[in-house]
Structure 1
Amino acid sequence: MKFHSRKWVKPEDLNPNGTLFGGKLLAWIDEEAALYSVVQLENQKVVTKHMSEINFMSSAKEGDIVEIGIEVVRFGKTSMVLKSEVRNMMTRETIITVDSITMVNLDSLGRPTAHGKTKIEYVKDRINNN
């Protein structure tokens, strides 16, 4: 799994227990999945359709740095399924895993539309081929 971004846990990210609020972490994962999908599908109109069961394994506290990993599971006709892992860089523990995040490619009217992608493409390869 490639870890694409890092987040610094700040006071506004904490729950009443003083640890990273799960809803904040899920928002970070959703944003990372959306950004990854927009780049892969070359379309800004991509939405989250489904997120599978999540598994919280550990936490993070103020000042910790977490890194968010995203990996493609498969490409559908109008969708892309990803998985995610978030780990705490300070403790080296996995915080959460999400086995399936379905992102759907939309047309200008907001309807699912075929994207024509079958494999991961890297921006550097797109630039070199043009």
Structure 2
Amino acid sequence: MQFFSRKLIKPQDLNASGTLFGGTVLSWIDEEAAIFVTCQLNKGNIVTKYMTEINFVSSAGLGDIIEIGMETVSFGRTSITVRCVVRNKFSKETIIKIDKIVFVNLDDDGRPAPHNVTEPQN
């Protein structure tokens, strides 16, 4: 798994309990996954189709630094599936795991289109 992105947890990222708001981290994951997939396919006309169970393992607090990791799980004809782990940068404690995030490549009319990629790109 490659960890490309890091985030500093700031006051606006917290929920009413003073821990990282789930919606914020899910937004970061969706953005990071889209960037990862765009780089894998070398094209940017993609949409998020599906996410498996989102497993909140632990939390993060104000001042923590988290990192978001992605890896390719599989390629379909028009889709690509990736896995995500969000962890604390220093303790390496997992915060969130998502086993499958599926993206679909689209043509100019917004319909699924073959992407012709079969192996992960570096």
TM-score over 0.5 (shorter chain): yes
In 2, distance between residues paired with 1:72 and 1:23? 23
Q: Does 1:98 align with 2:98?
A: yes
In 2, distance between residues paired with 1:4 and 1:89? 12
Percent identity, aligned pairs only, is: 55
Look up the equivalent residue of 1:56 and give its one-letter code.
Answer: F
Cα displacement string for residues 21-51 of structure 1 (whole angstroms, at most 9, x for unaligned residues): 0011111111011001111111111110000
Rg larger in structure: 1
Q: Does 1:11 align with 2:11?
A: yes
In 2, distance between residues paired with 1:102 and 1:87? 21
Q: Does 1:60 align with 2:60?
A: yes
**Moved runs in structure 1, 4+ residues, more than 3 A?**
none
TM-score normalized by the length of structure 2: 0.97
Map 1:28-107 → 2, pairs under 5 A: 28-107=28-107
User: Shift of residue 91 of structure 1?
Assistant: 3.2
In 1, distance between residues paired with 2:84 and 2:100? 8
- Alignment root-mean-square deviation, CA: 0.8
Look up the equivalent residue of 1:46 and give its one-letter code.
Answer: I
* 1:22 matched residue in structure 2: 22
Cα displacement string for residues 77-122 of structure 1 (whole angstroms, at most 9, x for unaligned residues): 0000000000012432100100000011111111110000000123
Q: Does 1:118 align with 2:118?
A: yes
In 2, distance between residues paired with 1:63 and 1:97? 21
Q: Which runs of 5+ in 2 are unaligned?
A: none
Q: Which runs of 5+ in 1 are unaligned?
A: 123-130
Larger helix proportion, structure 1 or 2? Answer: 1
SS in structure 2 at match of 1:117: coil
In 2, distance between residues paired with 1:13 and 1:50? 24
SS in structure 2 at match of 1:67: strand
